[in-house]
A and B are shown apart, each in its own frame.
Chain A
């Protein structure tokens, strides 16, 4: 099964235009599987992005990074700025393998799963959000509402998985199977984070969300991710997604 991540859906909402006009689906899990498939449509992706972190006082910090992704289960993220984070690189591989390269220590280090739910480099995305996973694989889906334009789904983590979220609510465009908003609820059932997708523009045969925003309601903190440059289906080599490449600069 192809795997995807939030970033795949959000920053790279890749709608294969050839697949428009899906039949109406009533099975919630089938809808979620379609979301995964649509989001994974590009063979590979390369993008340069800017993350803008905004605290409750309106103070902003900026992170720049390049992201390589192949399929739904291989991703490499490399920080370009700020200076004290430059060169820090993160590799996500199938079977939940994650590696971090910290230039100051000159070592590639395996990341254990306890880190997955922690913030990624001070952003409102977690390592889990930045790594590759499948909604359909990780969540059981329940159809709450079906309007003219959206499916509204309630996702609950599969019992064997350890997630910090008790449930997700996802609004999925009926015509494209692209989510427009996701709400994340904590273990007590309180709304914790919201993820919204904006500036959806056509790039090649896909449509790309050039901007998205994750808001952490508990911290009154948000992270806006802006895609500055993107290349799809450019034939990225598997060699990019290796520990060998992790510590190389580009």
Chain B
């Protein structure tokens, strides 16, 4: 049985299960969503997704709870290039589709000790108090497939134990046996997280290939641990955390440049690894007056990564090996400060200042970002309008004019009835210089989504 048929069997079980297990407190919920995007500059559709999301959940007793989430989606555009593509039984080329096993875990409450809860299985672990951008949240890998939905996480297999001491102190320990890498944006947006490659003048790349080197599947290489202590002090939620594992984004560790002719054409082969790192973090959330505030910071202590380059010497023409530091082991700090407020007229504002985006690493590579969102609901919550929303990036304060990025993301949502949401929005991207938005400037998009929950 292949994986897609397996999925259909599981999905069928979900559907039949609703009837079968109705009396046992099993809850089956989910949503159907269509998400379509068009790029205004090229006038091309860039995103075509139809998703069926299913969640199965139950708590037969006070002792345990189980949860699973699977996602079936048609995603992408027809990719038929040969006559035989039209004759495939699975219709993959005509209509690409896939499945995602998001989460499947069991919660054991009062496990062995009255105050100990343990969650075992594939799960998303989200730490931190900031909105979407959490420097302390490094256990579950980032799901960066959709660049406009940063903060999304992938499930990871883990044992996640929480011990409650009194009413006001929680110790959380996590063990992840096997490392899972992050997913990355694709298509035009792939450039957002990739620094441009500097090539000598006159060099032309004929073929570029890469190889990802995952850590060995043994505890000393692949396992990760996290510890967190949380409390409330003087009306503020506080936590301290520690993580030992790997960066979920790869870094270039080796490049082999092979000349293929005498006029500067080359083939390049690269190797990428996931560097080890330790992270000590802390966060808080509370309010000053009636303004909600939060903050989150983390000191990253990466291992040093050496970049090996094998290339012909410009003098002798012979292949020679050079080594440089791709990632310094000097600690660096990422942090977020944010706040929100609802005005008397119902206008809601949320703003954050961020030093160091998800993909940035190394003390000298961290840029500054401001995210902001102003929203208002209208007509008894039938409409939600976001007239001002987006982000600003600054990567050189001494020359802001040439080193900035800007995303403007207005949005309008309509809720014709409970469980139904229609959403139209756009992303207008501008920027200059070597920053995330600058590298994808002009790729403006209009987005249309419809979501029905059940």
Contacts and interface: CB of A to CB of B under 8 A. Distances in A.
Interface of A: 53, 55, 61-62, 82-86, 95-97, 105-107, 109-119, 122, 162, 164, 219, 221, 238, 242-244, 248-250
Given A107-B126, A244-B117, A95 B167 contact: no
B65 interface: yes
Contact of B418 (A84, A110, A116): A84
Contact of A118 (B31, B346, B453): B346
Contact of B292 (A107, A111, A162): A111
B18 interface: no
B297 to A, nearest CB: 18
B45 to A, nearest CB: 27
B65 to A, nearest CB: 6
8 contacts: A82-B418, A83-B418, A95-B235, A109-B285, A110-B285, A110-B286, A110-B287, A248-B109
Most chain A CB inside 10 Å of its own CB: which residue of B167, B293, B418, B421? B418
B380 A244 contact: no
B160 to A, nearest CB: 11
Contact of B59 (A112, A114, A250): A250
Contacts of A114: 287, 290-292, 340-342
Interface string B102-144: 0000010100000001000000101001000000000000000
Nearest to A220: B380
B291 A112 contact: yes
Nearest to B55: A103
A82 B419 contact: yes
A162 B290 contact: yes
> Main SS of the interface on chain B?
strand
A162 B291 CA distance: 13
B27 to A, nearest CB: 7
Contacts of B129: 109
Given A109-B285, A118-B342, A249-B65, A242 B167 contact: yes
Contacts of B164: 242, 244
Given A244-B162, A249-B57, A249-B65, A83 B419 contact: yes
Nearest to A59: B417
A86 B341 CA distance: 25
Given A110-B285, A221-B380, A244-B162, A249 B59 contact: yes
Nearest to B339: A112
Contacts of B344: 164
A157 B171 CA distance: 41
B270 interface: no
B407 to A, nearest CB: 21
A103 to B, nearest CB: 9
A30 B341 CA distance: 36
B146 interface: no
Given A61-B418, A112-B286, A244-B170, 13 more contacts: A55-B380, A82-B418, A83-B29, A84-B419, A84-B421, A95-B235, A106-B126, A110-B237, A119-B381, A122-B381, A219-B380, A242-B167, A249-B57
B186 interface: no
Contacts of A53: 380
Contacts of A248: 59, 65, 107, 109
Interface string B28-45: 010100000000000000
Given A83-B454, A221-B380, A115 B57 contact: no
B290 to A, nearest CB: 4
Given A114-B290, A162-B290, A249-B27, A83 B380 contact: no
Contacts of A55: 380
Interface string B281-315: 00001110111110000000000000000000000
A82 B290 contact: no
A84 B292 contact: no
A85 B418 CA distance: 9
Contacts of A221: 380
A154 B170 CA distance: 45
A150 B65 CA distance: 50
A106 B419 CA distance: 20
A113 B285 contact: no
Contact of B29 (A62, A86, A112, A119): A86
A170 B342 CA distance: 28
Contact of B340 (A97, A112, A117, A162): A112
A86 B29 CA distance: 9
Contact of B453 (A83, A162, A164): A83
A243 B162 CA distance: 12
A106 B346 CA distance: 26
B92 interface: no
B292 A112 contact: yes
Nearest to B123: A106
Interface in B296-355: 340-342, 344, 346
B235 to A, nearest CB: 7
Contacts of A242: 164, 167
B202 to A, nearest CB: 51
Interface string B210-238: 00000000000000000000001001010
B128 to A, nearest CB: 8
A213 to B, nearest CB: 16
A113 B287 contact: yes
A54 to B, nearest CB: 10
Contacts of B380: 53, 55, 122, 219, 221
